[in-house]
Chain A
Amino acid sequence: MKRLDIGEDEVHLIFVNSARAGLDTELKDGDRLGLFPAVGGG
């Protein structure tokens, strides 16, 4: 996230291969990573 210039506090949901993951989850080649900010609009 540092390399992408995304602050840790901006990311509220991390998912790897469609399962919720954490900042310490190790990524392998071919993993699909999603970073989701706080979203609350209606």
Chain B
Amino acid sequence: MDEGDALEVLRSGAVEDDTPDGRAPVVSHDVISRIALHFKAAGWQIEALALENGIYPRRYLRSMNGIGRSEQVGMLRGRVSQVGLGGLGGLMVETLARSGVGRIRAVDGDVFEESNLNRQALSGMNVLGRPKAEAAVERCRSINPSVELSAEAAFLDRAGFLKLLEDCDVAVDALGGLRDRPALQEAASERGVPLVTGALAGWTGYVGVVMPGQLGPGDIMGTDDSAEDSLGCPAPTVNLVSSIMAREVMRILTGKESPLAGRMLIIDMNGPTFETVSL
């Protein structure tokens, strides 16, 4: 891609408008898509180029009071590898796609079942029986075509996790159940990437960030029976845990240290109480 040429088309397609940083050129999604197609680039590349040159993609304007220009560029250029596209992972894809995280690599070998409908954002009557990976790709495309989501319908072992985490900036543990979590945490540690993890049972849950080599929930929780088998997974807890995880993913992609590194935020929606515990 010739960035100079792309920038010229961006400038001519932008209109002056209000932004969190005052009056500035603003560009709409149709212009972004057209330029991406013409220059055979991904939408996120065009959006990052625009922002780096003071042109604001309209779709992110309402986030950008809280996320600065250079931070949004960091997210657009960021790469996330995510395991799980169920409760936590489905909403994660939605949130990251809306927020403009450029590249997401996800994996989940399941198909949607009726018992997923109570909480899983990507599930619906129209996708029952279909792979979660397929639904994720479609959903992401319909929300934000600038985001490149590759989703594989597979269950991975430790070697598979290592491959999935190659060349990523953040790993996301959105698994259901405890069995595979330690292997994912080890793989993230070996790859030297931060792992954002979370889980829940009933009205309680936790979110943690594990830096390479650090102790994490994967070392503590074991791999056997866990409390969700008797307490269930209601949608409010799933969505809260997923949202807090997404915020930490975004924070790490913008180059900031996570306050949850080496800690766990323990959530009890009955209280409600939030408590941070150091591990």
Contacts and interface: CB of A to CB of B under 8 A. Distances in A.
Contacts, number: 79
Contact of A41 (B224, B233, B275, B277): B233
Contacts of A40: 175-178, 181, 199, 201, 221, 226, 228
Contact of B224 (A13, A18, A36, A38): A38
Given A18-B275, A20-B278, A41 B220 contact: no
Contacts of A6: none
Contact of A42 (B176, B222, B276): B176
B225 interface: yes
A13 B88 CA distance: 22
A25 to B, nearest CB: 13
B238 interface: yes
15 contacts: A13-B220, A13-B221, A15-B277, A18-B277, A34-B275, A34-B277, A38-B178, A39-B206, A39-B228, A40-B177, A40-B178, A40-B226, A41-B205, A41-B228, A42-B199
A27 to B, nearest CB: 16
Given A18-B276, A40-B176, 5 more contacts: A13-B264, A34-B266, A40-B181, A42-B174, A42-B176
Nearest to A15: B277
Interface string B199-214: 1110011100000000
Interface of B: 84, 86-89, 174-178, 181, 198-201, 204-206, 220-222, 224-228, 231-233, 238, 264, 266, 275-279
B238 A18 contact: no
Decide if the interface of chain B is mainly helix, strand, loop or mixed. Answer: mixed
Interface of A: 12-13, 15, 18-20, 34, 36-42
Given A18-B277, A19-B277, A20-B277, A39 B222 contact: no
Contacts of A36: 206, 266
B279 A20 contact: yes
Given A13-B220, A34-B266, A42 B200 contact: yes
A13 B178 CA distance: 15
Nearest to A40: B178
Given A12-B220, A34-B266, A41 B278 contact: no
A16 to B, nearest CB: 10
Contact of A37 (B87, B227, B233): B227
